[in-house]
Amino acid sequence: ANGNFAAADPQWLANADSAAIRSMLAAIAKARRDIDLVALERLLPDLDGVANPLSALPHFSSPNLSLAASLVGGFDALLTRVSGKRRRKKHRSRARKFEAVGSYRRIEAKTADEVHMLLDAFFEMKEFRFRKMGIANVFGEAEVRAFFRSLFTDALQEEDRSFVLHGLEVAGKLRAVTGSSRSGKRLICEFGAIAEDDLAHTSPGDFLFFENIQEACEAGFEIYDFSVGDEPYKRLWCDVETQHFEVLVPLTLKGRGLALVLRHGASLKAFIKHSPMVWKLTKLLRRKAVGRTAPAAGEDDS
């Protein structure tokens, strides 16, 4: 997940303290002696003004930042902060390039067939990208794909859908796909991908983000959240940083050892990500492992 928060009754959240949370954890330890460690990752410090009660427990910073754009004041106000004149010009230029090879359209999945169409394209794009980057495909398992199909299909039954898919189709082919969640006044881009084909150089992903963010402003959202990961294409839009935190609660002696390993692992990851030279070398070695020396178009820092 790109940001987690305690799923609890709002009244309980308002009054929860460390004693109540520790009591709950003690009950887990008593009922489930097979559990060694409770690991809570990427926790939001607050949600819609409500503080995360889990911050009362010992915690440490997550390795990655989460980036977002404030939409307060509308789309024009946002553009004034992010080189708006240049960005509009680029958007029009990309539209002309798309029209030169055929018609283009932005799709919002409103039927089960459209959900499957967009997810099929997304899974294919991600599989190709991860293979080129030399990293594991987290969307590769059948169970994972079935979960996302169910998640976005079930959301179609909601009046205000919690999850929504968008795609950019050019000349009859999907070139970019995003999957988003809606949480209060926040629209969260949970995932995205582009087709690495003859139009990849036109940045179809950036084009789709422009359209998505503009619509989010029109719909009254106050935040467009690009989720976890500090990447150049996000920095082009974002002016809000969120530092998530991690909580590790060992329930057994074995859990204590595992917590120590996980904490050291998070520290190492943070060191690598925050050192440009080390991170560049890490990505180079990762590419060489799959026989590739040049970065893929739009390669991110995942």
Per-residue pLDDT tens digits for 17-71? 888 889 989 999 999 999 999 999 999 998 888 889 999 899 999 998 899 999 9
Q: Please report the pLDDT score of residue 290 as a whole number.
A: 61
What percentage of the chain reaches a pLDDT higher than 90?
71
Q: Which two tokens stand for residue 151?
A: 């998640």
Q: Please report the pLDDT score of residue 200 as a whole number.
A: 94
Query: Residue written as tokens 């926790």?
Result: 43
Q: Please report the pLDDT score of residue 297 as a whole number.
A: 46
Q: Where are the domains of the chain?
A: 10-63+244-288, 72-221
Q: Please report the pLDDT score of residue 18 as a whole number.
A: 84
Is the Cβ–Cβ distance between 175 and 168 less than 8 Å?
yes
Q: Partners of 177 in the beta sheet?
A: 167, 193
Q: How many CB atoms lie within 10 A of CB 228?
A: 20
Q: Please report the pLDDT score of residue 302 as a whole number.
A: 43
Does residue 260 sit in helix, strand or coil? helix
In three state form, how does the secondary structure of 214-239 look? Answer: HHHHHCCCCEEEEEECCCHHHHCCCC
Integer Cα distance of 24 and 27 in angstroms: 5
Which helix (H) or strand (E) segment is 36 a member of? none
Q: Please report the pLDDT score of residue 179 as a whole number.
A: 98
Q: Which two tokens stand for residue 159?
A: 């009046």
Integer Cα distance of 228 and 4 in angstroms: 11
Is the Cβ–Cβ distance between 47 and 5 less than 8 Å?
yes
Q: Could you report the average pLDDT of every consecutive run of 10 residues in the chain (302 residues)?
A: 82 83 92 95 88 91 92 96 91 96 96 98 96 89 98 96 98 97 93 95 96 98 92 90 95 96 91 81 75 51 44
Q: Please report the pLDDT score of residue 280 as a whole number.
A: 80
Architecture in CATH of 72-221: 3-Layer(aba) Sandwich (3.40)
For residue 225, what are the CA distances in angstroms to 6, 7, 73, 108, 222?
Answer: 19, 20, 16, 18, 10
Q: Is 95 exposed, middle or buried (0-12, 13-18, 19+ CB in 10 A)?
A: middle
Residues 6+ apart with CB under 8 A from 103: 170, 171
In three state form, how does the secondary structure of 198-215 look? Answer: CCHHHCHHHHHHHHHHHH
Does residue 242 sit in helix, strand or coil? strand
Q: Is 100 exposed, middle or buried (0-12, 13-18, 19+ CB in 10 A)?
A: exposed
- Length of the chain in residues, anyone? 302
